[in-house]
Amino acid sequence: MPSVKPIKREKLIYYLKRFGFSGPFSGGKHQFMIKSDITVRIPNPHGKDISIDLLIRILKHAGIKKAEWEIL
């Protein structure tokens, strides 16, 4: 698993799936992924990597600790 650093959208989706999230699904302005009662919005593809700040916010919302992200 990568350390907490900028990441491509496709890799974020791949790793969230490894944590048990399904999707991404279309809805509203952003796609989202679901795991039981947790819904996480995924940034739209813009050709840039997802920043560290945004990645940390996504992981926090998903209930994934930094240590879990780096170890999986």
Over residues 2-30, the mean pLDDT reads 90
- Tokens standing for residue 5: 């650093």
pLDDT band at residue 2, thresholds of 50, 70 and 90? low
For 9, 12, 33, 36, 37, the CA distances from 49, given in Å and listed in that order, are 7, 10, 18, 27, 27
- Tokens standing for residue 9: 């959208």
Q: Give me the domains of the chain, ranges plus CATH numbers.
A: 9-71 (3.30.920.30)
Q: What is the pLDDT of residues 23-39, one digit of tens each?
A: 999 988 889 999 999 99
Instruction: Answer whether residue 68 shows pLDDT above 80.
Output: yes
Q: What is the mean pLDDT of the chain?
A: 90
What pLDDT score does 47 carry? 82
Distance CA 68, CA 28 (A): 30
